[in-house]
Amino acid sequence: MEKEAVSLLSTLGHPQRLLVWRLLMRRYPQPVSAGEIAEATGLKASTLSVYLSALRQAGLIGQERQGTSLLYRAEIGTANDLLDYLFADCCRGRPALCLTGGADHFPLAPEGSAAMADRKLNVLFICTGNSARSIFAEALVRHLAGDRFNAYSAGTHPAGTPNPFAVKLLADKGIATEGLRSKDVNEFQGPDAPKMDFVFTVCDQAANEECPAWDGQPISAHWGMPDPARATGTDAEKALAFQAAYGTLLNRLRAFAALPVESLDRISLQSAVDEIALDETGAAEA
């Protein structure tokens, strides 16, 4: 693995290749088009093509075709192999050397599973405006599993108030809307903020943005979906867009709420929340 590690570290040693790889890691397991990568990173198409080729050659990303478009996805297995090698070789398998605070720094480490049954877990949903998708998710978690989770939502560029279509849809479904408000993500990153166990981005644009690392290393995943607030047309057509977003999140959050969190180790739990993002059956509410 030593030669492979040198090659991988050399590839990631270029700041713009690292920028592209980090973007794809944040968007995992969702594949991303070259055009969207270029727009998010500000790289010219010709330059980006060279970087994508280098990352593919190193095995750090994969490529797939959908119609006439080429899509790119991070190869998590390669990243895991590199981290495993560095942990075993450089850290000699001792968490205290490489992971600040050791296993206790990770709230969902296997050693802490028993303690998790004695407390509610904190979960945060992030989108750009915090007006619809993340508001739906916050309200739905409280409705589906409020006895097990404290649910929060925030936006990277908050709209100021929840979208009226979103609030009305929740009320029509019998979901409580009291206390829902549009919040800035910085509200959850201060010293007095609740420590998150899970952080989900539900918007591609929010996932594309650089955000500070979350204290406590929460389990994170990207559950991207279209923004219903951008829907155009009649009120009925807009309502259908909100219904679709609600249905997708309802199905994903049902699956999330059903996870045996207390009995899963961190790796299994991460895989489970990533798999939920790949399930597209939530497009229509059951």
Q: Which residues form the catalytic set? A: 127, 203, 211
> Is 126 within 8 Å of 154 (Cβ atoms)?
yes
90's tokens: 């450089």
Q: Characterize the bridge pairing of strands 69-74 and 61-66.
A: antiparallel
